[in-house]
Amino acid sequence: MITNGTPNGRLPLPARETVVVVPMDGAPAGEIVQLVVELQHEGVHATLGEPVALPESAYDRARAQYRGERLLACARDLDGPRVLGVTARDFYTEGRSFSFGIAESPGRAAVISLFRLRSGPDQTAFNARTLKEAVHQLGRTLGLAECADPRCVMHCSSSLAELDRKTNRLCDLCLLQSSRFVRTGH
């Protein structure tokens, strides 16, 4: 499903499986609603969940950031077939100075941070980054690995420039792998 070499595959989540998008302490309501709408446009059956507070134990005072693994544990405890937590707080994961997102892979929970996605020219770029990171982390919940294709949504972005270069779609290889995961449940 590549057109002119550009990834064009949508994330094939199980039919009618709901992704509950949960605001986690500090995420602006309008931005969360915008993400839900954009996920729906991508064919994801997304709904807005009730806001939750971040656990105090997740905050690392020495780094002035949250621990991503603890935020993921919080999201894992929330109700829903698949949960995407969204926070405006900065977080990091083991071995990294910051992270745009984290997910169980495979699993049912993921969390993204809007904190570092804001840098840049306009609201349109911010919305595009947010959607790409959400789709990337949902792909991880399906068991998809990081992709070498810098245009594929499953490419690991360690900078905004890398995030901006990729699309919000899967390349052929990732689409094939994700379809197999959805069919087999692995």
* Domain ranges across the chain: 18-145
Q: Does pLDDT of 80 surpass 50?
A: yes
pTM higher than 0.85, yes or no?
Answer: yes
Q: Taking the alpha carbons of 97, 155, 142, 132 in that order, is the dihedral positive or negative?
A: positive
What's the pLDDT band for 21 if we cut at 50, 70, 90?
A: very high
pLDDT of 28 > 90? The answer is no
- On whether the CB atoms of residues 94 and 65 are closer than 8 A, the answer is no
pLDDT for the residue numbered 4: 46
Return d(Cα 103, Cα 84) in angstroms, integer.
9
For residue 178, name the pLDDT band (cuts at 50, 70, 90).
Answer: confident
pLDDT in tens, 121-132: 688 999 999 999
In CATH terms, the fold of domain 18-145 is Collagenase (Catalytic Domain) (3.40.390)
